[in-house]
């Protein structure tokens, strides 16, 4: 995952204090981050950060370019929109680019925008042009081409220059007419607007997804985008997508001379338009309409994230023109983070991979910051007690950073008389094992988190521990991702880690072979068995990390592997260390980077007979070797690799884990010591420097083949 907006230490400095070198470094880092977020948002419909954090990245990037114009070139992120279209769809070249809007977050920024428009047009404050003001719909941008009134093609925004052909899917949306009606329909008219879902339809889709055991969507925007970008139009047809038309691309003859006039013509042609669009003649009217829409936001039934202002006169729009990737004549006035109040209908306990019991408030669905929220974390037992949250309370909810819903507190005047303090369970709701709060040896106090002691016998932990076991930094078994692990667990194929390595033999004896199951075939089943077989030899540190022992992360696993050299030596020491006065306990706690907390976790893990049994059975299936031996036959052993650009098939963290597993060192910058540069989409300065230095460069597909040991053609 790309880093957050606050990841770089340079960003603590105002742009005005950056040196040329600092600016160059941060500009390159921001370029890669923005590219990755564009890909996640536009291609995967799975944003990793909030719109507000994304806007901060963009603004910082553009501020740097404004102060250091030498950094701006044709490949600059400020000259691009969106992300490259997905390879799943045919491409459509936009005859008129689909650009994005500049953003404002305060009234003062809106007034500055109006002043810029007046200066450009050489007008005084008394002769400000009229503006339209309309809700900014939070959906998926779409361009729909009509020829002689007939719908002929539809495309997503893509990167602004080229989008994805979604014509067949758009034809299934009832709100979009196949044929335009009325007088004066242009010979060619490309209508642009937003595909979206209403909140009630979104709730029904998610309910259906849950009933079918499929992942639910995070918000209506993701659901709308995922629905429109289905390879099977029949799936799109089952989703009640809607559409608002508000702009245009190529057009043979405009039906009006104003923004408002064209939108009114759209409505006459049979296209859906937003009823909240208004014509404003003063800044006061514009800001008043913004306040009105903001006040109605939670009751509209669909998501919006601001108000868009556009100069109404189309001749003035043409005079104003464009700057970078945005029109000078339009602005998006974004809403601040939103809070809402809603009742707590229940408190449920979720059990995580490490056995942590996390209370979740089940809320009456409410729109908060453009997202329908029905769940919010209460963090832990102490947090519930501190805030005194009870079932039946009406609470204030906010999405922290516009991403994670959190309960701020309850409204005392609205508390029911029957509401009683929440009694946190002392038994795991998933397996019935005791749930305890450990004593922190450093403070002598109980931890805030209560944990299940069931370990791998707990079904809630089992799936998560299996997912962890096969993850990139652990056994890294290709084709055995989170969804497939859950499916195999539900169907009884894999219940414990060792079951993965007996799957092929059991499959041969089964009356229902894997290749006969839905989603599999002979080739995919064979590929999975080969991937499992390829992991029968594993480095000791990765084996220890894969066990999912509490507090044993990647770095700790490496320290343990370095100290003990074998699983047997670690297990014998941990078992002996149950006696805290013996030499084994002293040995554990004296290892650099370990300490009492990790030592307690190791002792607790190996104290459980079922955990020792699992380790024993695993060692019968796999060979555990030193990290050096695991990497010595790798073509990448000892080499320095740099990743740049947007990786599309794996994340940057997954790529790094692959490289380290093969004995390579991953660097963040290109130098003469770099051996290999892996360039993803939109690679910039690092790729250029690698070519300048004559360093070998490969694309993502070649990297995956290299990491898997597949020879390129």
Among 47-56, 145-154, 657-666, the range of highest mean pLDDT: 145-154
Q: What is residue 441's predicted lDDT score, i.e. its pLDDT?
A: 57
Region 691-709 average pLDDT: 85
Region 62-76 average pLDDT: 75
628 pLDDT above the threshold of 70? no
Region 5-18 average pLDDT: 63
Region 112-134 average pLDDT: 91
144 pLDDT above the threshold of 90? yes
40 pLDDT above the threshold of 80? no
Region 246-262 average pLDDT: 96
- Please say whether the beta carbons of 35 and 681 come within 8 A: yes
Run of H or E residues at 257: none
Among 267-281, 560-574, 623-637, the range of highest mean pLDDT: 267-281
More confident residue, 651 or 602: 602
- Please say whether the beta carbons of 81 and 157 come within 8 A: yes
Pairing, β 322-323 against β 339-351 = unpaired
663-666 LR contacts (CB < 8 Å, sep 24+): 663/627, 663/628, 663/630, 663/631, 663/632, 663/634, 663/636, 663/637, 663/638, 663/639, 664/634, 664/636, 664/637, 664/638, 664/639, 664/640, 665/638, 665/639, 665/640, 665/641, 666/640, 666/641, 666/642
Q: What is residue 436's predicted lDDT score, i.e. its pLDDT?
A: 83
Q: What is residue 146's predicted lDDT score, i.e. its pLDDT?
A: 96
State residue 408 phi and psi, 5-degree precision.
-80, -35
- Please say whether the beta carbons of 456 and 429 come within 8 A: no
Give the pLDDT band (50/70/90) at residue 471. confident
Give the pLDDT band (50/70/90) at residue 78. low
115 pLDDT above the threshold of 90? yes
- Please say whether the beta carbons of 556 and 594 come within 8 A: yes
Region 156-175 average pLDDT: 88
CA angle in degrees (0–180, nearest 5) for 698-699-701: 120
Lowest average pLDDT, out of 259-268, 387-396, 640-649, 659-668, goes to 659-668
347 pLDDT above the threshold of 90? yes
More confident residue, 44 or 284: 284
Q: What is residue 260's predicted lDDT score, i.e. its pLDDT?
A: 97
Query: Looking at 528-600, which runs of residues are DSSP E strands?
Result: 537-539
What percentage of the chain carries pLDDT values higher than 90? 35
Lowest average pLDDT, out of 24-38, 271-285, 420-434, 472-486, goes to 24-38
Average pLDDT over the chain reads 84
More confident residue, 454 or 118: 118
Q: What is residue 5's predicted lDDT score, i.e. its pLDDT?
A: 40
681 pLDDT above the threshold of 50? yes
What percentage of the chain carries pLDDT values higher than 70? 88
- Please say whether the beta carbons of 515 and 524 come within 8 A: yes
Q: What is residue 442's predicted lDDT score, i.e. its pLDDT?
A: 54
- Please say whether the beta carbons of 339 and 316 come within 8 A: no
Give the pLDDT band (50/70/90) at residue 464. confident
Give the pLDDT band (50/70/90) at residue 74. low
Region 131-146 average pLDDT: 94
Region 575-583 average pLDDT: 90
672 pLDDT above the threshold of 80? yes
Over the range 148-171, which residues count as b (16 or more CB within 10 Å of their CB) and which as e?
A: ebebeebbbbbbbbbbbbbbebbe
Q: What is residue 317's predicted lDDT score, i.e. its pLDDT?
A: 95
Give the pLDDT band (50/70/90) at residue 443. low
Lowest average pLDDT, out of 62-66, 630-634, 690-694, goes to 630-634
Q: What is residue 634's predicted lDDT score, i.e. its pLDDT?
A: 66
466 pLDDT above the threshold of 80? yes
State residue 546 phi and psi, 5-degree precision.
-65, -25
Residues labelled catalytic: 136
Among 24-28, 42-46, 270-274, the range of highest mean pLDDT: 270-274
Q: What is residue 110's predicted lDDT score, i.e. its pLDDT?
A: 96
More confident residue, 30 or 505: 505
The order of strands in the sheet holding 103-104 is: 103-104, 330-334, 304-311, 131-137, 278-280
Q: 99, 178, 146, 133: which is closest to 253 by C-alpha?
A: 146
Residue-wise pLDDT for 541-561, tens only, equals: 999 999 988 788 888 898 898
How many CB atoms lie under 10 A from the CB of residue 85?
A: 23
Over the range 278-310, which residues count as b (16 or more CB within 10 Å of their CB) and which as e?
A: bebeebeebbebbeebbeebeebebbbbbbbbb
Q: What is residue 289's predicted lDDT score, i.e. its pLDDT?
A: 96
Q: 365, 361, 360, 362: which is closest to 340 by C-alpha?
A: 365
d(CA 125, CA 514): 73
d(CA 80, CA 65): 14
Residue-wise pLDDT for 228-248, tens only, equals: 877 777 878 888 999 999 999
More confident residue, 251 or 682: 251
Q: What is residue 85's predicted lDDT score, i.e. its pLDDT?
A: 42
406 pLDDT above the threshold of 60? yes
663 pLDDT above the threshold of 90? no
Give the pLDDT band (50/70/90) at residue 99. confident
Helix (H, G, I), strand (E, B) or coil at 251: strand
Lowest average pLDDT, out of 121-125, 263-267, 358-362, goes to 121-125
How many CB atoms lie under 10 A from the CB of residue 481?
A: 12
12 pLDDT above the threshold of 50? yes
Sign for the CA dihedral angle at 250, 253, 256, 258 comes to: positive
Q: What is residue 627's predicted lDDT score, i.e. its pLDDT?
A: 66
Residue-wise pLDDT for 373-395, tens only, equals: 888 888 888 889 999 999 999 99
String of DSSP letters for 134-147: EEEE-SEEEEEEEE
89 pLDDT above the threshold of 70? no
- Please say whether the beta carbons of 333 and 110 come within 8 A: yes
Q: 343, 399, 331, 397: which is closest to 370 by C-alpha?
A: 399
All structural domains of the chain: 9-79 (1.10.287.610), 103-334 (3.30.470.30), 338-436+444-453 (2.40.50.140), 455-535 (1.10.150.20), 539-630 (1.10.150.20), 633-708 (3.40.50.10190)
Residue-wise pLDDT for 479-533, tens only, equals: 888 788 888 988 889 988 999 999 999 999 988 899 988 878 888 899 999 999 9
630 pLDDT above the threshold of 60? no
536 DSSP β-pair partners: none
């Amino acid at each position: 995952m790309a880093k957050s907006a606050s990841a770089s230490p340079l960003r603590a400095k105002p742009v005005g204090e950056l040196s040329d070198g600092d600016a160059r470094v941060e500009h390159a880092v921001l370029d890669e981050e923005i590219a990755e977020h564009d890909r996640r948002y536009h291609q995967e419909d799975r944003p990793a950060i909030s719109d507000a954090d994304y806007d901060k990245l963009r603004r910082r990037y553009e501020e740097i370019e404004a102060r250091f114009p030498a950094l701006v070139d044709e490949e600059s992120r400020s000259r691009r929109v969106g992300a490259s279209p997905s390879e799943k769809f045919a491409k459509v070249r936009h005859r008129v680019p689909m650009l994005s809007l500049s953003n404002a977050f305060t009234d003062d920024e809106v007034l500055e925008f109006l002043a810029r428009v007046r200066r450009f047009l050489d007008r005084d404050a008394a002769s400000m042009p009229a503006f339209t003001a309309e809700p900014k719909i939070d959906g998926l941008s779409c361009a729909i081409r009509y020829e002689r009134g007939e719908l002929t093609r539809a495309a997503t925004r893509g990167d602004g220059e080229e989008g994805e052909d979604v014509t067949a899917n758009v034809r299934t949306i009832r709100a979009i007419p196949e044929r335009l009606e009325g007088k004066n329909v242009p010979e060619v008219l490309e209508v642009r607007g937003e595909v979206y879902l209403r909140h009630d339809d979104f709730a029904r889709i998610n309910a259906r997804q849950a009933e079918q055991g499929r992942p639910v969507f995070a918000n209506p925007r993701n659901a709308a985008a995922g629905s429109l970008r289905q390879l099977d139009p029949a799936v799109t047809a089952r989703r009640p997508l809607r559409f608002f038309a508000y702009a245009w691309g190529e057009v043979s003859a405009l039906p009006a001379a104003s923004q408002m006039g064209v939108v009114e013509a759209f409505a006459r042609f049979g296209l859906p338009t937003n009823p909240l669009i208004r014509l404003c003649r003063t800044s006061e009217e514009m800001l008043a309409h913004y306040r009105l829409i903001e006040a109605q936001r939670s009751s509209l039934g669909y998501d919006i994230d601001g108000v868009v202002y556009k100069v109404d006169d189309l001749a003035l729009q043409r005079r104003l023109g464009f700057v970078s990737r945005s029109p000078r004549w339009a602005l998006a006035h974004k809403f601040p983070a939103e809070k809402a109040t809603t009742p707590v209908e229940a408190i449920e306990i979720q059990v995580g991979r490490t056995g942590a019991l996390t209370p979740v408030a089940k809320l009456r669905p409410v729109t908060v910051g453009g997202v329908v929220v029905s769940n919010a974390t209460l963090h832990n037992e102490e947090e519930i007690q501190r805030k005194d949250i009870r079932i039946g309370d009406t609470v204030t909810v906010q999405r922290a950073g516009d991403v994670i819903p959190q309960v701020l507190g309850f409204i005392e005047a609205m508390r029911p008389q029957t509401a009683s303090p929440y009694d946190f369970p002392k038994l795991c709701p998933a397996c019935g094992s005791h749930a305890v709060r450990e004593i922190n040896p450093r403070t002598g106090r109980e931890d805030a988190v209560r944990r299940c002691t069931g370990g791998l016998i707990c079904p809630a932990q089992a799936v998560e521990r299996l997912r962890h076991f096969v993850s990139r930094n652990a056994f890294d078994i290709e084709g055995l991702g989170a969804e497939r692990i859950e499916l195999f667990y539900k169907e009884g194929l894999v219940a414990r880690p060792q079951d993965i390595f007996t799957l092929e033999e059991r499959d041969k004896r089964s009356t229902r072979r894997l290749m006969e199951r839905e989603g599999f075939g002979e080739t995919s089943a064979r590929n999975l068995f080969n991937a499992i077989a390829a992991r029968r030899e594993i480095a000791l540190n990765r084996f220890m990390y894969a066990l999912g022992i509490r507090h044993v992360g990647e770095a700790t696993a490496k320290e343990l592997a370095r100290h003990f050299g074998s699983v047997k030596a670690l297990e014998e020491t941990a078992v002996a260390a149950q006696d805290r006065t013996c030499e084994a306990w002293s040995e554990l706690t004296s290892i650099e980077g370990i300490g009492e907390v990790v030592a307690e976790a190791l002792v607790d893990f190996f104290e459980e007979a079922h955990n020792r049994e699992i380790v024993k059975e695993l060692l019968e299936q796999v060979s555990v070797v030193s990290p050096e031996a695991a990497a010595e036959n790798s073509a990448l052993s000892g080499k320095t690799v740099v990743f740049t650009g947007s990786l599309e098939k794996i994340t940057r963290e997954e790529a790094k884990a692959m490289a380290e597993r093969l004995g390579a060192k991953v660097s963040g910058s290109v130098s003469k010591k770099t051996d290999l540069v892996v360039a993803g989409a939109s690679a910039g300065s690092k790729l250029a420097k690698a070519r300048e230095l004559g360093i070998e460069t490969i694309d993502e597909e070649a990297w995956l083949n290299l990491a898997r040991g597949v020879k390129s053609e």
